[in-house]
Amino acid sequence: MPIAMESTDELTGVAAWAVELMEQLGGLGAGTAIALENLFPPLPSEIILPLAGFTASKGQFGLAEALIWTTLGSVIGALALYGLGVLLGRDRLRAIIDRMPLVQLSDFDRTEEWFARHGGKAVFFGRMIPIFRSLISIPAGVERMPVGRFTLLTTAGSLIWNSVFVLSGYFLGENWPVVQTYAGILQKLVILAVLVAAVAYCVRVWTRHRRIRQVRMWQ
């Protein structure tokens, strides 16, 4: 049964693709779209999830079905990236980092120690942060976080994130695009915070290298 809604008549790109997938496969289509969003972060969950809620409000499938399928899709996508981290492995990742400019293995070792202490929080809260919600699965795999714990934390974090957007689309109805506006603001803030952190990190590494060179010159 096609989705009869005036507000989706002119949808294009990812939104049109997601609607067509949901029309063809129902809740499974919503789950598939979110699984792919995890594997390919440029696919925006901030569009797919509200559309899943809106589609559920039109009777294409139930609200509970939308929440279950989208959360299942999130977990499947996250497990795929977790597996990539496992295959990549610590030694291979260290070898890659060792060839990167301005990055020291000691920095990686400290990051590894931090993840060992806070990995659970990183996985849980990372599922609710745009961009990082997919990427956080890779270090979890590299560090061999127990797959059961990873799955549980990913499920919990994804359920919260998905519920916010699916329910927003469900209750906003044809005004569901409003969600995208606020999600876009959130994503810009996250990107800004990451850029600031990246610049601060580069400055710290550059300063450390400069100090090391100065010490060697005086020896």
Q: What is the pLDDT of residues 156-207, one digit of tens each?
A: 999 998 998 888 888 876 665 665 665 566 566 666 665 666 566 566 666 7
Task: For residue 176, give both structure tokens.
Answer: 């569901």
The answer on pLDDT for 72 being more than 90 is: yes
Cα-based angle 38, 39, 43 (whole degrees, multiple of 5): 65
Question: What is the model's pLDDT at position 5?
Answer: 44
Query: For residue 16, how many other CB atoms are within 10 A of its CB?
Result: 14
Residues 6+ positions from 179 with CB-CB distance below 8 Å: 46, 50, 165, 168, 169, 172
Where are the extended beta strands (E) located within the chain? none
Rounded-to-integer distance, Cα 27 and Cα 178, Å: 23
Q: Look at residue 4 in the predicted model and tell me its pLDDT.
A: 42
The token pair at 76 is: 């499947």
